[in-house]
A and B are shown apart, each in its own frame.
Chain A
Amino acid sequence: MEWVQTIAVILDSAIRLSVPLLCAAMAGLWSERAGVVDIGLEGKMLIAAFASAVVAFSTGSAWAGLGAGILASVLLALVHGFAAITWRGNQIVSGVAINMLAAGLTVILGNAWYGQGGRTPPLEGAARFPDLTLPLAATLRDVPVLGRLYEEAISGHAAPAYLAFLAVLVTAYVLKHTRFGLRLRAVGENPAAVDTAGISVAWLRYGAVIICGALCGLGGTYLAVSQSAGFLPHMIAGKGFIALAAVIFANWRPWPVLGACLLFGVFDAVAIRLQGVIVPGLGQVPVQAIQALPYVLTVILLAGFIGKAVPPRASGLPYVKER
């Protein structure tokens, strides 16, 4: 049963690696389904990672860190909302600005406050999220294959990770089965239809942008307070952009987004595991090639080789009343 163990370990690390992607991708999905393109996911996660690490360090509470991370990210999301919705500005420009702002601000503040090259001091004890053991994990571990996978891969993650998976469930339900979800889907396709149905386009979009901010906050906090033990400059390292790729790859639908994020997580986990391994005949495995796979797959998808990516029709367009 050696291979079961190997798969379980890879899966466990894939889940860990996909949690931040999942948060950011869900965030992007909310925003884009409402018609607001957000390439500032990266920046919002970064500011959340920083804020959560700072607050977790100073209060000693990981949950306080989570609150701070979400708050910081939502504030930044509101800046984007203000530019995109109220001022009808260019959403790409605003997103880029937010990424630059977050990258600069976190390093400067980090340096000023702690003088450790932008890092925050290491978090210990209650300032980090502990790994949770799911019920029955110990009992089931002897059930062949499934029990083992449950114990090794599914159980044993920190609370924010489970929240991220919960977010997928909630998103899928809300979009499909609630009034808010229906309106949100409609506003991303044809805001004028929503307006003439007597609903405020701006409030709906602000709602979506705030949810987007909260989810980015969750993802950033997970990185700094759970996966690592503190904030490192530029620690998001492009995950906000891979998340956008996952959203496109999944055609803006929640469950496929989960699938895409897990797939991208598996690529990452495999790449890490194969680091330095010599495969007979091939030589050293080109790890970078595996890490580039999410982007490559997305480009192939966009080129129309696997299915077709159809974005919400009004995404990226500010709403102006006219014919």
Chain B
Amino acid sequence: MSDAPAPAIELVAISKSFGPVQANKDVSLSVAAGSIHGIVGENGAGKSTLMSILYGFYEADSGEIRVGGKPVSIRSSADAIAAGIGMVHQHFMLVEPLSVVENVVLGAEGGARLKAGISQARTELARLAQDYGLVIDPDAIVGELSVGLQQRVEILKALYRGAEILILDEPTAVLTPPEADQLFALLRALKAQGKTVILITHKLREIMDATDTVSVMRRGEMIAHVRTAETSPAALAEAMVGRRVLLRVEKAPRQRGRPVLEVAGLSVRDERGVERLSEASLTLHEGEIVGIAGVAGNGQSELLEVLAGLMQPSRGVIRLGGAILNAGDRTPSRLRRLGLMHIPEDRQRMGLVTAFPAAENTILGYHRDPSFGRGPLLSPSRIVAHALAGIEAYDVRPADPTLKTAKFSGGNQQKLVLAREIERAPKVLLVGQPTRGVDIGAIEFIHRRLIALRDAGVAILLVSVELDEVMALSDRILAMCGGRITGERQAETADEKDIGLLMAGVGEAA
């Protein structure tokens, strides 16, 4: 006992409630110094809350925190930073109009005047770029960077403050696969330097690949600590959800019907006039799922947005149920009435008004539906009743339709959007990143829902950066690269490598 090194972090009996919701119940956790420790758990299990307590963003109602064996009082993020803790939050904490270097020095400016601190930060950033390959332009405006680079800024912020313990909350939810690989290489490099990493993720493969030990949370409680080498994805999944989870999608052969959505030669330009989607043509039949495979930013988002009526095409024809959609039809509300529903890729920016209570979000866009009101007035009781039905069907937690949407965990927010759109009996469903930030139990559930819709004859267009998900759900797969559709494969015969090549724009002729 005496010569065993003290754990980097020890949490003892932490409890935290938000009003009636107990987010953490008597949670204890010990993380060895110089290790990568994973935390898994369902949406709303309390993972982010626990880490936010460790980082001083929230204060625990009770419990103790020890860093390097010594009890510390962490009452604000300043205390956490002083104790050597850094955190990359699930939703980034960046000041978008400021430059990279200004974001990095914020809170650690080293003097009342900025000049010295900024130039010191530049040197330090150059060193970090060299040591860890974290290359970034210090003068770039953060809001103009890609999500992957923004995350890099968050990591640099923590390293600049000399963090010995780095917490990452679902860092790969927003990354492309190559970016995720880079991130894990970085985490291993940090570990080699003796730093401690705590990693929250829903992707069990990442847990198996990267971590040394893993803890499982369920409904606010810590229910298991295991060495990664001694567990398996299936065992972790079962521990998380409390029942066996199918990690594979089961589906019957498709019953392909008539074509419902036909797109020919569709092109889209962004505000700057750059062509983001070029000459895309595709046909969607009743009762099939067509998956779009592609590295993020290759025109998939634009394809979804133009089909949903959120962007206008510069060229091309869209037919819905055989009829050409003219400009007047290509508005979201009109399209919805025609039976085309859309689950947007970014739930916080486009899918929800996070300042509204959950109930209001479950009728967003359908608020003119007479069943939600009396005459010109909305009826709160009917809206709440409607929301409750959706919350129950999708197992949203907590099951409180009057709670402000921002207070739900990320995965539960996603379920609210899904419930709203799927329950509207669409003819065509456009789905963007349906399981981003969603736990495996819910993924299983969402996948089954989508398959059931397909079996009921709905035509589904699925965009996801998770190639596994595209491969598992789709009947046909289209690969996109640089705004063009580079190839089509039948799902049964598709091969991951082949699609990877199409996604990279290689073998387009094939």
Residues of B within 8 A of A180 (CB): 112
Task: Give the shortest distance, in Å, between B44 (CB) and chain A (any CB).
Answer: 12
Is B77 an interface residue, CB under 8 A from the partner?
yes
Residue A139 is within 8 A (CB to CB) of chain B in the complex: no
Interface pair A196/B112, CB less than 8 Å apart? no
| Known contacts A190-B96, A196-B55: A178-B112 contact under CB 8 Å | yes
Query: Provided the pairs A179-B111, A190-B94 are in contact, do residues A323 and B410 lie with their beta carbons within 8 angstroms?
Result: yes
B152 to chain A, nearest CB (A): 16
A2 touches B (CB below 8 Å): no
Q: Interface size (B, Cβ < 8 Å)? A: 41
The answer on a CB contact under 8 Å between B114 and A179 is yes
Considering only residues 174-207 of chain A, those with a C-beta below 8 Å from chain B are 177-183, 185-186, 189-190, 192-200
Q: Which of B65-111 contact A (CB under 8 A)?
A: 76-82, 87, 89-91, 93-98, 102-103, 105-109, 111
Q: Nearest chain-A residue to B102 (Cβ)?
A: A182
- Given A179-B111, A179-B113, A322-B407, A196 and B95 contact (CB-CB distance below 8 Å): no
Choose among A179, A198, A313 the residue that contacts B112 (Cβ–Cβ < 8 A). Answer: A179
- Nearest A residue to B107 via CB reads A197
Q: B93 is contacted by which of A177, A192, A313 (Cβ under 8 Å)?
A: A192
A302-314 toward B: CB 8 Å interface, digit per residue (1/0)?
A: 0000000000010
**Residue from the list A181, A199, A322 in contact with B107, Cβ < 8 A:** A199
Tell me which residues across on chain A come within 8 A of B77, comparing CB atoms: 195-198
Could you say which of B56, B94, B95 has the most chain A C-beta atoms within 10 Å of its C-beta? B95
Q: Which residues from B are CB-within-8-Å of A323? A: 48, 90-91, 354, 406-407, 410
Judged by a CB distance under 8 angstroms, whether B58 is at the interface is yes
Please measure, in the bound complex, the distance between the C-alpha atom of A107 and the C-alpha atom of B157, giving whole angstroms: 54
> Contact check: which of A181, A186, A198, A200 meets B95 at CB < 8 Å?
A186
CA distance A271 to B294 in the complex (A): 63
Residue of B at shortest CB range from A312? Answer: B97
Residue of B nearest to A177 (CB): B114
CB nearest neighbor in A for B80:
A198
Kindly list chain A residues whose C-beta atoms are within 8 Å of the C-beta of B91.
Answer: 323
Instruction: Given A178-B112, A194-B106, decide whether A199 and B78 contact each other with a Cβ distance below 8 A.
Output: yes
Q: Could you tell me if B96 and A196 are in contact, using CB atoms closer than 8 angstroms? A: no
**CA of A140 to CA of B307, assembled, Å:** 71
Distance in Å from the Cβ of B491 to the closest Cβ of chain A?
A: 36
A179 nearest in chain B by CB position: B109
Q: Which of A177, A179, A185, A196 has most chain B Cβ within 10 Å?
A: A196
B254 within 8 A of A: no
* B76 close to A185 (CB less than 8 A): no
Contacts of B56 in A (CB 8 A): 198
A-facing residues in B103-143 (Cβ within 8 Å) = 103, 105-109, 111-115, 117
With a cutoff of 8 Å between Cβ atoms, the chain B residues found around residue A197 in the complex are 77, 81, 93, 106-108, 157
Q: Which residue in A177, A189, A192, A194 is a CB contact (below 8 Å) of B97?
A: A189
Distance between Cα atoms of A127 and B93 in the complex (Å): 52
Given the complex of chains A and B, what is the CA–CA distance between A186 and B101 in angstroms?
13
Cβ A178 vs Cβ B113 within 8 A: yes
- Are A182 and B106 within 8 A (Cβ)? yes
Given the complex, which residues of A lie within 8 Å of B404, measured CB to CB?
A: 322
The residues of A that contact B90 with a CB separation of less than 8 Å are: 323
Nearest residue, chain B, Cβ from A173: B113
B78 and A198 contact, CB distance less than 8 A: yes
Q: Which chain A positions have C-beta within 8 A of B94?
A: 190, 193
CA distance A287 to B306 in the complex (A): 51
When A179-B113, A189-B96, A190-B95 are in contact, do A321 and B102 touch as well, CB less than 8 Å?
Answer: no
Can you name the residue of chain B whose Cβ is closest to the Cβ of A180? B112
CB pair A177 B58 closer than 8 Å: no
Which residues of chain B are within 8 angstroms of A198 by Cβ–Cβ distance?
Answer: 56, 76-82, 107
B184 within 8 A of A: no
Q: How far is the CA of A185 from the CA of B102 in the complex (A)?
A: 10
Q: Which of A181, A182, A185, A192 contacts B105 (CB 8 A)?
A: A182
Alpha-carbon separation in the docked complex, A64 to B103 (Å): 42
Assess whether B445 is interfacial by the CB under 8 Å rule. no
Say whether B394 faces chain A, with CB atoms less than 8 Å apart: no
Q: Is B366 an interface residue (CB 8 A)?
A: no
Residue of B58, B87, B106 near A193 (CB, 8 A) is B106
B115 (CB) vs chain A CBs: closest residue: A177
Which B residues lie within 8 Å of A192 (CB)? 93
Contacts of B93 in A (CB 8 A): 190, 192-193, 195-197
**Contact indicator A177/B113 (Cβ below 8 Å):** yes
| Contact with A196, one of B89, B102, B108, B410 (Cβ below 8 angstroms) | B89
In the assembled complex, the Cα of A193 lies from the Cα of B107 at a distance in Å of 10
Q: Which of A183, A313, A322 contacts B106 (CB 8 A)?
A: A183
> What is the distance, in angstroms, from A283's C-beta to the closest C-beta of chain B?
47
CB distance from B153 to the nearest CB of A (A): 11
Bound together, the chains give a CA A189 to CA B108 distance in angstroms of: 18
Chain A residue numbers with a CB within 8 Å of B80 are 198
CA distance A189 to B89 in the complex (A): 17
0/1 interface trace, chain B 250-288, chain A, CB 8 Å (1 if under) = 000000000000000000000000000000000000000
Given A185-B98, A322-B406, CB of A178 within 8 Å of CB of B81: no
Least Cβ distance of A308 to chain B in Å? 13
Is A194 touching B406 in the complex (CB atoms < 8 A)? no
> B288: shortest Cβ distance to chain A, in Å?
36
Contact of B97 with A196 in the complex, beta carbons under 8 Å: no
User: Chain B, 469-492, contact with A by CB distance < 8 Å: what is the 0/1 string?
Assistant: 000000000000000000000000
Beta-carbon contact of A182 and B114 below 8 Å? yes
- Nearest first, the 6 A-B pairs at minimum CB distance are A197-B107, A198-B78, A179-B109, A193-B93, A198-B77, A186-B95
Q: Which residues of A contact B (CB under 8 A)?
A: 177-183, 185-186, 189-190, 192-200, 313, 321-323
- Give 18 A-B contacts (CB < 8 Å), ordered by A residue: A179-B109, A179-B111, A179-B112, A179-B117, A185-B98, A189-B98, A190-B94, A192-B93, A196-B57, A196-B77, A196-B93, A197-B77, A197-B107, A197-B108, A198-B76, A199-B78, A200-B76, A323-B354
**New contact pairs (19) apart from A185-B95, A189-B96, A197-B106, CB-CB < 8 Å:** A178-B113, A179-B114, A180-B112, A182-B98, A182-B106, A182-B109, A190-B94, A193-B93, A193-B94, A193-B95, A193-B103, A194-B107, A195-B57, A196-B77, A197-B107, A199-B106, A200-B76, A323-B90, A323-B354
